[in-house]
Structure 1
Amino acid sequence: MMQIIIEFAYTGSLSVTEDNVQELLVAANQFNIMNIVQACCDFLEEQLSPKNCIGIWHFTKFYSCSELQEKAYKFVLDHFEEVVSTEEFQDLTVEELSDFIESDDLNVRKESTVCEAVLHWITNSPQEREGHLLLLLSKVRLALMSQDDLGTTVMSRELVKSNAECSQMVMDIMDNKDHLTSPALVMRDSAARPRLPNAIMLAIGGWSGADPTNGIEAYDIRADLWVNLTNDEERPRAYHGTAFLDGYVYCVGGFDRQESFNSVRRLDLSTHTWQEVAPMHFRRYYVSITVLNGCIYAMGGYDGHVRLRTAERYRPDTNQWTIIPSMHDIRSDASCTTLNDKIYICGGFNGNECLETCEYYSPETDQWTVIAPMNSQRSGVGVVAYADCVFAVGGFDGSARLRSTEAYDPRTNTWREVSSMLTTRSNFGIEVIDNYLFVVGGFNGYTTSYNVEYYDAATDEWCEACDMEIFRSALSCCVVHGLPNMAEFTLCRDARPFLELELMAEEST
């Protein structure tokens, strides 16, 4: 280690490897050589994985690595479902495990995962750990678990049944679950308070009734509620596209009843402020937008006079749009997504008919390639990558709004039918969050909608989610993640006025 340090002092170069990183960090920390300490921390940060994050977190506690320590701690929270099955999980002390499972930031799709993790940790060394069961179980948000899970995952376990205090606590929660999870109490009781999501879905703009809207709502999937974030100073737009990239939400193109836009507006999520960036080469509403390899792609649409087959690409680092090859088909009111480094675009309207045709663009070859057509013509369709396939949902076939859904497998170049939505809709928002496919709002053939539902590929079923506050079609959705101020976009866990929640409870009864 001393040889490496001396060579660094003379040459300014350093080789950090898995074999030397820990010893090198210890030595550099002892001699207060912060450049080497930082290089080692950077290396360890790149190596973070579910298998080693607890070990790295423990290691950093003894050295000048506060930033890495914080990142390792957050990595455990963000990847808890994968961490619990690793060997290092058993190295946690009861105080450390308690701290993790008590956190609102713990990222778990189901609270039963937390309960199973606690029982797994205890049964690994029962004689030493059984005495901690009540403490740890009290940190689990048991009221968020279903009655079946409480019965099969918790009460059926001999570990719980043989502990009178624990079994009584679980029984009390089972008996009072409906009361604890009512809107008036859900944020008050620690057993029922939803955890914070590590990603949120934004629904932006659209057509509400007879007018475009500037409304922005954020979906808190853990609480199953929408939070209104509307900035009244921002101009309304509909039939636009949105994209999340490097901490910013980009709103691209669109229409406000009077003008079709080529403008692009960017929302800084850290400051909640908007700014204008470079405009597109073409005015586009009914536009298709997606992100690939750090660039935003805009395809097709309508400029107010003609429908388009042109496409262009935006690079944020140069703030410039560049024309790329045009699509094979003219497409407005289509939808697109990114899968396996390709951009897939499906359906739309060419000025004469609704389309079932599809194609993909490869940046590597800079070419569009036609693929198998969908089973249905779909304009105003929703397209998204999900479960290693391209899903095409709903839309308008030229005579009726659809609720049918089909999935494209790029390995076989074939489409297959999957379960249909609960409601018909076109021109809706679509996104994947928490491994569910969500559809938001839209037009059902009679009126604009605030209805939301989601699809689970594991069960091939659609379920209802919380409605938006604003009924609208021609909106656009995007999922944002990795924000330091994520709590600003979610339902407040502690400070939300109880009166407001109680009013919600009264309205629902």
Structure 2
Amino acid sequence: MDMEGATTSSCFPQPHMERKMSAMTCEIFNELRLEGKLCDVVIKVNGFEFSAHKNILCSCSSYFRALFTSGWNNTEKKVYNIPGVSPDMMKLIIEYAYTRTVPITPDNVEKLLAAADQFNIMGIVRGCCEFLKSKLCLDNCIGICKLTDYYYCPELRQKAYMFILHNFEEMMKVSAEFLELSVTELRDIIEKDELNVKQEDAVFEAILKWISHDPQNRKQYISVLLPKVGGFDGINRLRSAEAYSPVANTWRTIPTMFNPRSNFGIEVVDDLLFVVGGFNGFTTTFNVECYDEKTEEWYDAHDMGIYRSALSCCVVPGLANVGEYTACREHLPGLAQRDEVKHSASTSTLPV
């Protein structure tokens, strides 16, 4: 997560849910701590020792409250070894317990958020989230969004995700983090209704850029990602189709589909490319057709029994009722006939 150039720091006070202390009380107890007077606990982190008062730590952290009052610990115990945190972060945590303010900077925000989450100090968690919201940009929005996978920060996650959607076209051109998205993460982004792009070409460009970053491992996902773009020119749903060669990095026009559609599902079975459901500009559809690259022609497949759009498809091998699926559209003049015509009863009730 890149926040290069962001050098400011912020101090965030406690939220209402933490137990408040008057400014005078905070000042007095902090002076006692710094002087080492009336301290009844020593927090040890990697050989560093921090003297403190149990009541003060308990007042801002349920972690310390449970630690000091647990039946597993003797109430007279004074020294506690705390794992999983650095001395620098523990120093900030203890200072926050006494002053209810904490300096947050681009250099410490991630470690501080992790420490605050560990000790369940919601004031610091909120402060870190507000700081990260204020630093959202094209370079770091994906990293900030991914950070919320590890910590409960729903408002920050929503803010970062909407930033990605609203600035997708610009973000994918400059963000190194974009190239490291998983196929699931990229698919989820480009299928959102809130995705802000001037033309569908921008989404095609983003998909190709992502695939080109690791073509050997990512070209297999073309059939997963391209249907999310849909055949839509901004006015009409389209019948036209193009095929992409990841080896040559080129597109070529192929015969048009029978039905205009966008937001369809797509999958390959026995070297046939199936296009399933979608939206035709007026209604969600249930029809299915498939393309044979060998004959360079489209064929009807057995229609689904349920209207579906913006769907995903997968191949499930080994099911006894899935195996025969295609059927020629014999009544269309000029359509070549296949030597073998198949159909599937399974697609009448289930997605392909």
Name the TM-score, length of structure 1 as normaliser: 0.32
Higher strand share: 1
Name the TM-score, length of structure 2 as normaliser: 0.46
Larger radius of gyration: 2
Higher helix share: 2
